[in-house]
A and B are shown apart, each in its own frame.
Chain A
Amino acid sequence: DAGVIQSPRHEVTEMGQEVTLRCKPISGHDYLFWYRQTMMRGLELLIYFNNNVPIDDSGMPEDRFSAKMPNASFSTLKIQPSEPRDSAVYFCASSLSIVDTQYFGPGTRLTVL
């Protein structure tokens, strides 16, 4: 398996623009997670899905952030409008069950100017 795939790997945008991050989980994994990593806040969970259904979105910072999983092989994290404080590395991860190894993608480094 190719592992978790994320795109783009790097994104530079201007404040106020819409940003869409994409993730393809490992085939057969029922759980998908979106994390954000910053120096100040470390690695924090934003939202996770089970069988394409959002289960816990308590980590989503505010209404500017939204995530969808239209099918088992694709998920998006959207920020609209983006702000400089959204600059971070965003990781997608997937796992077979909720208490199991999470496999992380390579991340998307987002810079909002």
Chain B
Amino acid sequence: GENVEQHPSTLSVQEGDSAVIKCTYSDSASNYFPWYKQELGKGPQLIIDIRSNVGEKKDQRIAVTLNKTAKHFSLHITETQPEDSAVYFCAANSWGGGATNKLIFGTGTLLAVQP
């Protein structure tokens, strides 16, 4: 089955700097890669996603890149702000028997933006 690895587990940056979080996956059939942000005491919220027919996607200060050959994808946050501090999860979909499909999540990255 699918295995998603995420690095680093913690990341501390200065306000205004960039932050990069990297994930690798194992299932070559995966075709959907969302990123979620989880603030303390809340459920994860989607911030950006990318599908396998696209190599890069950008939404204001957030961008995601996908390398299907190497089976890795990355989240880039530019001009970080204190409100970006949270836990970020990558995920990849995994097709199972009988056309089942589910998201496999990485272990999370705790991002701390120092003012």
Q: Is B101 an interface residue (CB 8 A)?
A: yes
Number of A interface residues at 8 Å Cβ cutoff, please give it. Answer: 21
**How would you classify the secondary structure of chain A's contact residues: helix, strand, loop or mixed?**
strand
Q: Which residues of A contact B43 (CB under 8 A)?
A: 4, 91, 93, 104-107
Q: In whole angstroms, what is the CA distance A48 to B103 when docked?
A: 11
**A41, closest chain B residue (CB):** B107
User: Which residue from A33, A58, A98, A104 sits with its C-beta under 8 Å from B45?
Assistant: A104
Q: Is A88 an interface residue (CB 8 A)?
A: no
CB distance from B71 to the nearest CB of A (A): 18
Q: Which of A44-60 contact B (CB under 8 A)?
A: 44-45, 48, 55-56, 58
Q: In whole angstroms, what is the CA distance A18 to B44 when docked?
A: 27
Asked if A99 meets B105 with Cβ closer than 8 Å, knowing A56-B100, A104-B44, the reply is no
Q: Is A71 an interface residue (CB 8 A)?
A: no
Q: Is B89 an interface residue (CB 8 A)?
A: yes
B74-115 vs A, Cβ < 8 Å mask (1 yes, 0 no): 000000000000000100010010001111011110000000
| Contacts from B to A (Cβ < 8 Å) | 31-32, 34, 36, 41-46, 49, 89, 93, 96, 100-103, 105-108
| Contacts from A to B (Cβ < 8 Å) | 4, 33, 42-45, 48, 55-56, 58, 91, 93, 98-99, 101-107
